[in-house]
Amino acid sequence: MVQGMEDGLIRSISTGLSQKGVRDHNERLLLSLLQRNGPMPGSDLSKLAELSPPTVSAILRRLEGEGILERGDPVRGKVGKPSIPMRLASDGVFSFGLKIGRRSAELVLIDLHGGLREERHLTYTAPFPRDIFDFLEDGVRSIVAGMHPEHAARICGLGIAAPFEMWNWPDPSKDRSAAFAPWESIDLKEEAQLRTQLPVLLLNDATAACQAEHTYGRGKEFRDYAYFFIGAFIGGGIVLNNSVFEGRQGNAGALGSLRSIGPNGESMQLVDMASIHQLELRLREVDLDPQQLWSDPDSWHNLSRYVDPWLGQTAQELAKAALSTCSVIDFEAILIDGAFPARVRDDLVSRVRRYVVTQDTRGLFLPRIEGGSIGSKARAIGAATRPIGAQFMMQASVGLAS
């Protein structure tokens, strides 16, 4: 248990923000509209939500009283009284997000605007469970200890983003394989709750990255799109009708499993051909430490001799994968992001655009190929978004179109 939490600092939430019951549908709707569209006066919210002005006014007063909303600066029009836009209060709600990766872990605390308030990092050669949970416990303890008590009482939970069946990914290293195997028998949610005394929600790491992009990044520009996130292994997400689609078992958008063809004509998956893991293998072949890719962003430039060929292969694979996804659903865009510097992402996106136009596109509407905007922290931020969304926002796209 995290020391200092047994005194009620965290447990006070249980009678406050996170346990007000299932929040009123109309409350969630107004909060979601403000999150997606930014500050708005009650009159505009009333029209968008198709609710009566008195109903909206009462909800806004209630949410303002709870500290979840706050008033913006008055906006004076040509006639009549100035309107007062309502906005999400940045200090109204806080949430932790933990990303568990095969090469690194990241803990963040975000506010209601998605602002990054605190972060902690851990890199490793292999994700041994005890190391991860110790990192989580110590990180939550230190962050909470440094918060104002009123803010600490507004922490609504912990979201955890982890790869689907992390134990099921083969690795040539015996040490790394030994680290992956124990995860199959661990109840991640139960252990995290025990260590932090916080409500815990789980989601796939690539879906979490997609959620972050959709909530706080360029995802707001598109109604339907596929999202690729390139980490140690590539994954993805799908957005339909302005909502991240997770599927029956939370594994929709498993784009890393798309079929590909190896150099000798063998059947392979996209994850085998377009992941940072491929670059790591090349670096090991020439006796270079691949860990620098995760700990030193400048290494991507310094290792350009090896990065450039990897970018070429990855771009070709992504171009084919992008069109394959569009053969099922005519996505208007393909968004690409990853655990690498922004300049690497921009180079990759530019290459994918060039390769797409060389492909056989009969029967397809060509999607826009665009870069994401959140970057390497997308998975952790997306994880932190989950508790906020579950307790305060609509879980569907009804009424949220911009």
For residues 163 and 204, the answer to whether their CB atoms sit within 8 Å is yes
Sequence-separated (6 or more) residues with CB below 8 Å from residue 388 = 93, 95, 110, 112, 156
Q: What's the pLDDT score for residue 285? A: 96
Residue pLDDT, tens place only, 68-95: 999 988 877 656 677 889 999 999 999 9
- What domains does the chain contain, in order, with CATH numbers? 14-88 (1.10.10.10), 92-207+380-392 (3.30.420.40), 218-373 (3.30.420.40)
For residues 135 and 124, the answer to whether their CB atoms sit within 8 Å is no
Q: What is the pTM of this model?
A: 0.88
Q: What's the pLDDT score for residue 50? A: 92
In angstroms, rounded to a whole number, what is the distance separating the alpha carbons of residues 170 and 157? 32
Low-confidence ranges of the chain (pLDDT < 70): 1-23, 77-80, 167-179, 395-402
Q: What's the pLDDT score for residue 170? A: 54
